[in-house]
Amino acid sequence: MALEHAILVSLAERSASGYDLARRFDASIGHFWKASHQQIYKVLARMEADGWVSTERVSQGARPDKKVHAITETGHAELLAWSARPTPAEAVRSEFAVRIRALHLIDRATVLGAVRDRRQQHEDALAGYEASRRKYFADPAELADDEIGPYLALRGGIRLERNGIDWCDEIIETLGQR
């Protein structure tokens, strides 16, 4: 997947200025697809040149005009074509897993500290996901069609964080037995 497709998904949900898109990205899609605001603006310009998005200038009075981006028919066609292609498994690159692999070579107390830190990061992320779930998806049985995808993506994030906590707990328990 390219950043372009993540942006198309967001714009298909709602048109936005680059600034609003970047903020929305930080609060939702950014949980599983990282991009800087500068990257988003650069890609938006390329997507406009490719005809995937249109841009409308909106007057803001004394402030500079705002550019509002919307997905075009061409962009929607690309989104549909992309969604039909197979999704390859992502390569996993985890510095944390390499450190765990090297347990026999490095100071155990240092590793335990890193594991506890990582566990806390998972706890913090899980708390954020759970807060979003309570705020936006209080009753999963009542989801509208356009809420199912965001809900399931959020549930995936919750499961990943719980798995991370479980793994950290397993590491701590295993090391505590030695």
Residue 89: how many other CB atoms lie within 10 Å: 5
pLDDT digits (tens, 9 = 90+) for 75-125: 999 999 999 999 888 888 899 999 999 999 988 899 999 999 999 999 999
- Count the residues in the chain: 178
Q: What average pLDDT does the segment 149-162 reach? A: 95
- CATH no. of 3-84: 1.10.10.10
Percent over 90 (pLDDT), the chain: 71
Residue 64: how many other CB atoms lie within 10 Å: 9
Report helix, strand or coil for 5: helix
Residue 150 CA, distance from chain mean position: 11
Confidence of residue 1 (pLDDT cuts 50, 70, 90): low
pLDDT digits (tens, 9 = 90+) for 10-22: 999 999 999 899 8
Residue boundaries of the structural domains of the chain:
3-84, 95-177
